[in-house]
Amino acid sequence: MSLTLNQFLFLVLTFSAVVAVTFFVIFIMQLRKTAKETTLTILEIRSLAKNLNDTTLKINSQADDLQDVLEATKKTAVGLSEAAWFMTTKVIRPGSKYWPLIYPLIRFGWRQLKRKKKEGKNGR
């Protein structure tokens, strides 16, 4: 039994329609699955964004506290710098001519203190 041209064309069109519908159904199923995954991803992104906002608020509050500590540290550094400047310019530099006399006396006194502590430990 041979097919006529009309029958052959009808068969080709039917086969093409079945392939197109099958492709369309598979495409729709994949699109539905992608939509579900997208919804879950959006929900996860929302929760992550909320956590990020909470973290940002905590970091900002800690940064404000750190700003106060930083200001106090700057004031302390300035105070120490001024104290060191005063010691070098007003005490050490003018007194440097007396160090050759004072240092042996301090060393002698220190040795005497060490000797007294040692004798106290030994029970003498």
Provide the greatest CA pair distance for the chain.
Answer: 135
Tell me what percent of the chain is helix, strand and coil, each rounded to the nearest 5.
95, 0, 5
Q: 11 near 3, Cβ under 8 Å?
A: yes
0.75 surpassed by pTM = no
pLDDT value at 101 more than 90: no
d(CA 82, CA 76): 10
| Extents of the domains making up the chain | 5-122
Residue 123 pLDDT: 60
d(CA 42, CA 38): 6
Q: What is the mean pLDDT of residues 40-69?
A: 91
Q: 35 near 43, Cβ under 8 Å?
A: no
Q: What is the pLDDT of residues 67-91, one digit of tens each?
A: 888 899 999 999 999 999 988 888 7
Residue 47 pLDDT: 95
Residue in 20, 15, 21, 13 with CA at minimum distance from that of residue 5 = 13
